[in-house]
Amino acid sequence: MERVYNFSAGPGVLPLPVLEQARDEMVAYGDSGMSVMEMSHRSKPYMAIITKAEALLRELMNIPDNYAVLLLQGGASLQFSMVPMNLLTDPTQQSVDYVITGSWSEKAHGEAKKQRVEVRVAATTKGVNYSRIPTQAELTLNPEAAYVHITSNNTIFGTEYDYTPETGTVPLVADISSNVLSRPMKIARYGLLYAGAQKNLGPSGVTVVIVRRDLLGRRTDLPQMLDYKIHADNGSMFNTPPTYAIYILGLVLQWTKDQGGVVAMEQRNIRKAGKLYTAIDQSAFYQCPTEKGSRSRMNVPFTLANAELDSVFLAEAKQAGLVTLAGHRSVGGMRASLYNAMPEEGVDALIGFMADFERRHG
């Protein structure tokens, strides 16, 4: 069967060479005579796989040595709880700042509140239906906060920070699930970053946490599986890690490096998203609900002039091999996710289809 152009917000498109290599190595990996799925996580070939994956991530993201890289389970959603659990010393006496820019930051904020800490909203753009990112000047930051939490790219609403918030000595924590590896990030500006893998990193099942080492070990009363320090001290091998997902992560990282790394990815992403936004802005039929300075390069939401045509658009797009374009159920309309592995030809095909659809239905 032909492959389609998959605009899913996540799990999202993976690079074809990665899938082909995984297929070729599925039954017998290297000279091991077994699948990676069947391998002990402490075996020599597997240790080589996980060590290389971490090294590639460190190289691609330019992660300084004083940061630990953890490969965990539980998705980005578990990080909504692990972040406050690990970074606070005495929740009842402390305060944390959350910048709310969409559904995922709302969820992160909600989970932090359960830790019985004072959770301040440093800014929210809910009033404008999350159509933009607040500016630095709009952030009312508490200099005494234990940390400041942001969502660097809002997968559902299609907005993205084009600056790194300045938080002084307060550690900045970022959910980078949907724009990790899409652009360079200055790791040293953050205390902690986390991402579920299923967009730019690989399949679901592995979650990457990058944490400054001095933030580890603040609490000694946590369940072991929820304690960053335990995972850091054990090289992400405290228990059985998600072995196959980490293997695919390694392949995706190698592919990203072969493409020229994060700088090359950014240039390609600027081009890809730029041409889709331009096509939408130049048309009277399509509209983009997000403000220009806040637009995401990864997730491009748009609406049709007549919402009754939505189902026709989706059906015809599918016929043309362009799939998973429906907007999130809480927003409606369309959303095209243009992760790193979406080839430029996929974006061109979508733009061509949209123009044709407008001619026939506009």
Which residues are at the interface with ligand PLP (CB under 6 A)? 10, 75-77, 104, 151, 155, 175, 177-178, 196
In the complex with ligand PLP, the residue whose CB is nearer, 151 or 167, is 151
Tell me whether residue 245 or residue 304 sits nearer to ligand PLP (CB atom).
245
CB-wise, 254 or 299, nearer to ligand PLP?
Answer: 299
Q: How far is the CB of 342 from ligand PLP (least distance, A)?
A: 16
Q: How far is the CB of 285 from ligand PLP (least distance, A)?
A: 28
310 is annotated as an active-site residue: no
Catalytic-labelled residue, pool 65, 90, 97, 199: 199
CB of 104 to ligand PLP, least distance (A): 4
Q: Rank residues 39 and 84 by Cβ distance to ligand PLP and give the closer one.
A: 84
Choosing from 31, 65, 90, 104, which is the catalytic residue? 104
Q: How far is the CB of 179 from ligand PLP (least distance, A)?
A: 8
Angle between the N-to-C axes of helices 261-281 and 44-61, in degrees from 0 to 180, rounded to the nearest 10: 60
Say which amino acid occupies 240: T
In the complex with ligand PLP, the residue whose CB is nearer, 25 or 106, is 106
Catalytic annotation present for 255: no
Give 204 or 283: the residue with its C-beta nearer to ligand PLP.
Answer: 204
Q: What are phi and psi of 360, to 5 degrees?
A: -85, -30
Catalytic annotation, residues: 104, 175, 199
